[in-house]
Amino acid sequence: MTMLRENQTAVVARNEWWADGDASEPYEAGWASEAMVFLRALDAQGEGGRAVVQVSPDGLRWVDEGTRFDAPDRGQVAFARVREFGQWLRVRMELPKGRRVKVLLTYNLKS
Amino acid sequence: MLGLDRFDPMKRIICFDDFDRGFCGWTQLVGNYEHDLDSMLPGYAQHTQPQLSNVSHWDAGTHGSVDGTYALKVATRARAGAQNTAIKRLTFRKPGPIRLEFYFTFKPEATELVLSETDVRSWGFLYDLQQGDLGDRGGSGDRVMPHFRFLNATGGKHLQRWQYKDQTTEFKPLGTQGKTVTHYHLAPEGWKDLPGGEQKLCYNEIPTKVNWHYLRFDFDLRTMRALELQCNDRTYDVREAAPIVIPAMRNLWCMLNMVFFVETDVDKRAMLYIDSVCLSGEF
């Protein structure tokens, strides 16, 4: 029997207001070789800033993976492609003072 | 089927989910809402997606599951009292005895170099059921939600006992269309001790060593009553442990949902891992 690739859409953060330094919960997906990281702004205040993809050896300690993208404005969806991220993923916000984004963070993961 | 021999199923396998084969239909339990996500109750808003985990730790690497690599992981947020769940949604075709079996383990996130055996407050399972629209009462049947949990600890006290719940919170209407309501059946209030339900489980000696446990729960969909609960070497008669019973809802006929949940007692993530699940029925 042909085995199809595992494919999951994970909604990792939903309807949460994020400010500078806020990050998503750790998400474990060592089975996946690729991820699309979608960040939708359900609402937003202020302008500018960016989202930073982070990886981790253990889900406890985080380092920048190197991928970063502009934080979306209200109603917008921003995304990034990530590969070879190991086992753990999270997204951390780097936002100017007064900027907040109400996020819907979605990973599409494929084996 | 490979892996099924570690279960004692009834005659019909309804589903056999080994998480080495993927998510097998287990997903996140999103709360009800209408028009605006802000209308979701906070207890549900905290829920996140379950994960496929190989049970790895910072000090010892990958632990793996019972007979492979992956287990379903339900992880709370790192805030005392935080809960999370995983759900699988089915319907039933025969109102009779069913048996839920699964292999599980639970641990706090290993953020401290101490035993941490009282950091996980509780974990448990529930069914969300509704009788068929042509049931015994001509379609005016009940929605029935048997809840069981293992209360591991509260406030640093290692309690280790089984509890059940027979009441939910008040119903709250959502939105403006008069079609959607919500209630928080996982509220921390209302749990009752199962008589004789103390049980010491294997926790092991540091927070990164896990041991898998077996659980079996028998329930009768005809009488809508619990029958028997087994965890490892202990068996409990749970016929007196009443489920939550609420009026039938307009769209839920023959619903058979299974839910796992976990709750942390400290500002640290609590993890419930499920290696595999077998749901079977006597038909």
pLDDT digits (tens, 9 = 90+) for B233-278: 999 999 999 999 999 988 999 999 999 999 999 999 999 999 999 9
- For A33-48, b/e burial (b = at least 16 CB within 10 A) is eebebbbbbbebeeee
Confidence of residue B168 (pLDDT cuts 50, 70, 90): confident
What is the mean pLDDT of the segment spanning B92-114?
A: 95
Residue A46 forms contact with B (CB below 8 Å): no
Q: Which of A83, A39, A87, A32 is nearest to A61 (CA)?
A: A87
CATH code where residue A80 lies: 2.60.120.260
Residue B48 forms contact with A (CB below 8 Å): yes
What single-letter DSSP state applies at residue B44? H
Assign residue B4 a region: left if phi > 0, alpha if psi is -120 to 50, beta otherwise?
A: alpha
Which residue's structure tokens are 């006992």?
B161
In a domain, A95, yes or no: yes
What residue spans define the domains of chain B?
A: 16-281
How buried is B252 (Cβ within 10 angstroms: 0-12 exposed, 13-18 middle, 19+ buried)? middle
Assign residue B140 a region: left if phi > 0, alpha if psi is -120 to 50, beta otherwise?
A: alpha
Find the CB nearest B37 among A15, A27, A28.
Answer: A15
**For position B140, what pLDDT does the model report?**
65
**For position B149, what pLDDT does the model report?**
98
Share of chain B above pLDDT 70, in %: 98
pLDDT digits (tens, 9 = 90+) for A1-58: 677 899 999 999 999 999 999 999 999 999 999 999 999 999 999 999 999 999 999 9
**Domain interval for residue A65:** 13-110
* Rounded Cα–Cα distance for residues B99 and A2 (Å): 31
* Rounded Cα–Cα distance for residues B208 and B236 (Å): 30
Contact B95, B224 (CB under 8 A): no
Most confident residue range from B71-80, B172-181, B204-213: B71-80
In a domain, A4, yes or no: no
Helix locations, B18-152, DSSP H: 42-45
**For position B187, what pLDDT does the model report?**
85
Structure tokens at B181: 């309501």
Q: Please tell us whether the domain made up of B16-281 is placed in CATH 3.40.50.1100.
A: no
Per DSSP, the three-state class of B177 is coil
In a domain, A2, yes or no: no
Which residue's structure tokens are 């399972």?
B125
**For position B232, what pLDDT does the model report?**
98
Find the CB nearest A15 among B22, B38, B51.
Answer: B38
pLDDT digits (tens, 9 = 90+) for B187-237: 888 999 999 999 999 988 888 999 999 999 999 999 999 999 999 999 999
pTM, two decimals, is: 0.95
Residue B52 forms contact with A (CB below 8 Å): yes
Per DSSP, the three-state class of B131 is coil
Distance from CA of B98 to the nearest CA of A (A): 29
Confidence of residue A94 (pLDDT cuts 50, 70, 90): very high
Chain B residues close to A13, C-beta within 8 Å: 48
Q: Is the pLDDT of residue B82 over 80?
A: yes
Give the CA distances from residue B211 to residues B33, B55, B117, B184, B202, in Å, rounded to whole numbers and listed in that order.
Answer: 38, 11, 13, 31, 7
**For position A36, what pLDDT does the model report?**
98
Domains identified in chain A, total number: 1
Find the CB nearest B51 among A28, A42, A58.
Answer: A28
Distance from CA of B269 to the nearest CA of A (A): 10
pLDDT digits (tens, 9 = 90+) for B19-35: 999 999 999 988 888 87
In a domain, A82, yes or no: yes
Distance from CA of B22 to the nearest CA of A (A): 7
**For position B31, what pLDDT does the model report?**
82
What is the mean pLDDT of the segment spanning B80-103?
A: 97
Q: Is the pLDDT of residue B138 over 60?
A: no
Give the CA distances from residue B172 to residues A66, B180, B184, B191, B278, in Å, rounded to whole numbers and listed in that order.
Answer: 45, 9, 9, 21, 34
Give the CA distances from residue B207 to residues A70, B151, B275, in Å, rounded to whole numbers and listed in that order.
Answer: 38, 18, 18
Q: Is the pLDDT of residue A110 over 80?
A: yes
**For position A62, what pLDDT does the model report?**
98
Residue B38 forms contact with A (CB below 8 Å): yes
Q: Is the pLDDT of residue B59 over 80?
A: yes
Residue B39 forms contact with A (CB below 8 Å): no
In a domain, A7, yes or no: no
Name the average pLDDT for chain B: 93
